């Protein structure tokens, strides 16, 4: 019998029941895939993170991520939650931990501020697909409940990724964004064809000078009809905006805040930093707050 220490944490917020909830098992050593999948299904968050001790001198620990239905390679909000839980559990000082993920060994920074923490997640290598053909784009737009005149024509529909890919779809209106009622079955079917399970719909229609974008993210193919606040969408969005020259900057760094969750009353903010070299994104990082909703034990 093993006692698992389990946290439920809301990421990208300091207000309980806002942001994006994630489960975290901080002592997952010895659990097999089936056990982790069952725990993730039981906790029923969009993702649950499982932390294990390092088995190498090359990194400080191992993290794996499961939705209620399957394992995913990386997850932004669950990383923020996992590092926040680890910092609390071990009373860590400010530090950088090298953690092995399924997209490689990544540095995660823990920033201690008095008795609380913020987390900076360095994401995986940025990549951007070609634009979709007209038929696929039309199918996607219709499945999302959009019409052609809703689209921001300055922004191509493409897959962007820092390890867990998302389709980027820009629209003109925040009101339209909040009114979307997608056809989840059709989006799931389309995911099989395009080999991407997430659709990030965003807009620059913001009334807050500190917030560049508002977004919503749908991933029904992996059991997540809507994800409240998505690190692995807002992060790649930064790379997408730079590589497509949608945002012009004379600096070697582009920073912005992306707000998400308004339509489902789970508002949260992802702070994104993109390091630029030769007008291309070479490093994507996200920063977020977190708050503990509960801590418990499970015996397995």
Residues with catalytic annotation? 47
CB count within 10 Å of CB 129 equals: 17
Q: How far apart are CA 277 and CA 179, in angstroms?
A: 38
* Tokens at 38, concatenated: 């069952």
Cα dihedral value 128, 130, 133, 139, nearest 10: 0
State the angle between helix axes of 76-90 and 231-243 in degrees (0 to 180), rounded to the nearest 10. 120
* Tokens at 47, concatenated: 């993702």
């Amino acid at each position: 019998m093993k006692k698992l220490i389990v946290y439920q944490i809301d990421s990208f917020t300091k207000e309980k029941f806002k942001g994006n909830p994630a489960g975290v098992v901080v002592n997952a050593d010895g659990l097999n895939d089936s056990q982790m999948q069952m725990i993730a299904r039981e906790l029923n968050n969009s993702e649950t993170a499982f932390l294990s001790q390092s088995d190498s001198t090359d990194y400080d620990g191992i993290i794996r991520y499961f939705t209620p239905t399957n394992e995913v390679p990386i997850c932004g909000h669950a990383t923020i939650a996992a590092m926040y839980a680890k910092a609390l559990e071990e009373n860590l000082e400010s530090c950088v931990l090298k953690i092995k993920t399924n997209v490689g060994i990544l540095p995660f920074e823990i920033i201690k501020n008095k008795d609380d923490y913020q987390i900076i997640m360095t994401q995986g290598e940025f990549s951007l697909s070609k634009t979709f053909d007209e038929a696929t784009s039309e199918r996607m737009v219709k499945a999302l409940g959009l019409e052609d005149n809703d689209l921001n024509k300055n922004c191509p529909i493409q897959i962007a990724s820092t390890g867990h890919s998302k389709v980027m779809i820009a629209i003109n209106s925040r009101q339209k964004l909040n009114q979307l009622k997608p056809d989840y079955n059709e989006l799931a079917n389309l995911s099989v064809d395009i080999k991407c399970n997430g659709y990030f719909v965003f807009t620059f229609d913001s009334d807050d000078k500190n917030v560049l974008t508002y977004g919503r993210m749908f991933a029904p193919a992996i059991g997540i009809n809507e994800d409240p606040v998505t690190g692995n969408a807002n992060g790649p969005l930064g790379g997408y905006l730079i590589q497509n020259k949608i945002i012009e900057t004379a600096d070697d760094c582009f920073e912005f805040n992306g707000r998400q969750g308004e339509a489902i009353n789970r508002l949260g903010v992802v702070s994104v930093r993109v390091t630029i070299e030769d007008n291309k994104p070479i490093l994507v990082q996200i920063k977020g707050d977190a708050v503990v909703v509960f801590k418990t034990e499970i015996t397995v």
